[in-house]
């Protein structure tokens, strides 16, 4: 008798290895049965909506390569969908595993459908952003059912995961208000939910109607990414009562989702000093039962506008080396403007470097092989092979082509004094001439 299932988690609990699990196992070099067992426990999520046939399935979580997400989408001030599609192509060029459409103006469904139809990467959204434009209602007039209807619309369109700020309930808001934050709530979705709750006097609709929400997500196998509405927006606010109180709620919501066979990811900080990152990763894994952890950065200082792809990559590498599974990229435009295509390129590369550095530290299977191939190419002074291994081939080639060394096997940094050239000759018993 053939067993039926609706979600990856449900299949895993039934002992079934789905095609998506098999794909993840092949990509990661891990036995498919190990993947299945971890999906069943919830420590790996495979976001894979039934309505996303172009998807190349990726796993996020225990023992896997660190994945990255690329945020894009239009705003009220910048409405060029073709530019956003160029950003999509840039993200896919560098093998980003996920793309989130955070469009927050007007009717966004046409772009989202086109994105799902063409993208092999996982697609995520924050339905809360789309509510005003989708429903053509002002925030205070939206009902709890309206919010659920928008989630269903996104699920039907094929998105693989949705960020839902369900942990911002009356209890966590009380902790937030009493903690006296410098930056209050910097989560866009979190601020909108908070404002709605204050205007209407109602409980968070995603918390109050969580079971109905899970029913929608179960039907399409949409992974819930439990959003951190109270993530710190500056280093002064990190690891405060509001952040931790919400995280406790997210842990409780995680088990409720798993009981209904809905996959879960947990979203995490924001801005945080270096010395707090490792502890925060452990707190999340403990409170949220080792669910996959998805972090924005964290940005390790607040003073570098224009360079926050760097502050984020520093924090992301430390976070992933200490348990984070999924890095949301940050571009140089963070805090300043909607990113350009070039900003997206730089943000993706910085995040990929951070992810790979963490994979090296964590001994992820195959991670060291890439570095070893580059090292062997450098030892041979084999420039074409170095370009083959470069994370950004175009930039590496442009740098080399921009100068004219006397010996084309070396670069203009050391020239005849190139240590690699010197050692290659010396170890062959050849004379080393610097003239």
Pick out the residues of the known binding site for substrate.
71, 100, 129, 165, 187-189, 228-231, 267, 294
Tell me the binding residues. 71, 100, 129, 165, 187-189, 228-231, 267, 271, 294, 335, 411, 414, 418
Helix axes 341-362, 81-93, angle to 10 degrees: 30
- Residue 271 has what DSSP assignment? B
Backbone angles phi, psi at 201, to 5 degrees: 80, 10
Q: Which residues, including other chains, have CB under 8 Å from residue 17's CB and lie 6 or more apart? A: 11, 25, 32, 33, 35, 36
The residue ranges of DSSP E strands in 49-129, in sequence order, are: 60-61, 67-72, 98-101, 122-125
273: exposed, middle or buried (C-beta count within 10 Å: 0-12, 13-18, 19+)? Answer: middle
Please list, residue by residue across 408-423, b when 16 or more beta carbons sit within 10 angstroms of its beta carbon and e when fewer do. eebeeeeeeebeebee
What the block records as the tokens of 63 is 């023992």
Side-chain-side CA neighbours of 196 within 13 Å: the count stands at: 27
List, as residue ranges, the binding site for [4Fe-4S] cluster: 411, 414, 418
b/e per residue 48-64 (b: at least 16 CB within 10 A): bbebbeebebbbbbbbb
Q: Kindly calculate the radius of gyration of the chain based on its CA atoms and give it in whole angstroms.
A: 23
Strand 44-45 with 60-61, pairing = antiparallel
- Which tokens sit at 134? 């989708």
Q: Known binding site for Zn(2+): residues?
A: 271, 335
């Amino acid at each position: 008798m053939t067993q039926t299932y609706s979600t990856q988690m449900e299949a895993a609990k039934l002992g079934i290895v789905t095609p998506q699990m098999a794909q993840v196992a092949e990509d990661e070099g891990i036995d498919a049965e190990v993947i299945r067992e971890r999906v069943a426990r919830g420590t790996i999520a495979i976001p894979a909506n039934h309505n996303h046939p172009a998807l190349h399935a990726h796993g996020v979580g225990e023992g896997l390569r660190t994945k990255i997400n690329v945020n894009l989408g239009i705003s009220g001030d910048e409405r060029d969908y073709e530019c956003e599609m160029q950003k999509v192509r840039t993200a896919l060029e560098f093998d980003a595993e996920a793309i989130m459409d955070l469009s927050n103006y007007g009717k966004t469904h046409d772009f989202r459908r086109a994105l799902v139809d063409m993208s092999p990467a996982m697609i995520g959204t924050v339905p809360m952003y789309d509510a005003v434009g989708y429903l053509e209602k002002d925030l205070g007039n939206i009902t709890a059912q309206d919010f659920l209807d928008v989630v269903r619309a996104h699920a039907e369109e094929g998105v693989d995961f949705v960020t839902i700020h369900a942990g911002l309930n009356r209890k966590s808001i009380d902790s937030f208000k009493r903690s006296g934050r410098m930056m209050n709530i910097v989560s866009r979705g979190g601020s909108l939910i908070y404002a709605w709750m204050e205007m209407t006097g109602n409980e968070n609709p995603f918390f109050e109607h969580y079971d109905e929400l899970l029913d929608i997500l179960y039907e399409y196998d949409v992974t819930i990414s439990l959003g951190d509405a109270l993530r710190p927006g500056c280093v002064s606010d990190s690891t405060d009562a509001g952040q931790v109180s919400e995280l406790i709620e997210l842990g409780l919501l995680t088990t409720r989702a798993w009981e209904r066979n809905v996959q879960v990811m947990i979203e995490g900080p924001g801005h945080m000093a270096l010395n707090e990152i490792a502890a925060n990763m452990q707190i999340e894994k403990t409170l949220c039962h080792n669910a996959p952890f998805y972090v924005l950065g964290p940005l390790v200082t607040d003073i570098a506008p224009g360079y926050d792809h760097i502050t984020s990559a520093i924090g992301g590498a430390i976070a992933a080396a200490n348990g984070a599974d999924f890095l949301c990229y940050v571009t140089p435009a963070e805090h300043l403007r909607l990113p350009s295509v070039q900003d997206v390129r730089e943000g993706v590369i910085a995040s990929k470097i951070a992810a790979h550095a963490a994979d090296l530290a964590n001994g992820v299977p195959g991670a060291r092989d890439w570095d070893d191939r580059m090292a062997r190419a450098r030892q041979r002074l084999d420039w074409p092979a170095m370009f083959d291994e470069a994370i950004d081939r175009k930039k590496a080639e442009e740098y080399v082509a921009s100068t004219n060394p006397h010996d084309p096997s070396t670069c203009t940094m050391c020239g005849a004094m190139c240590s690699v050239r010197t050692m290659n000759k010396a170890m062959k018993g050849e004379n080393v001439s610097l003239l």
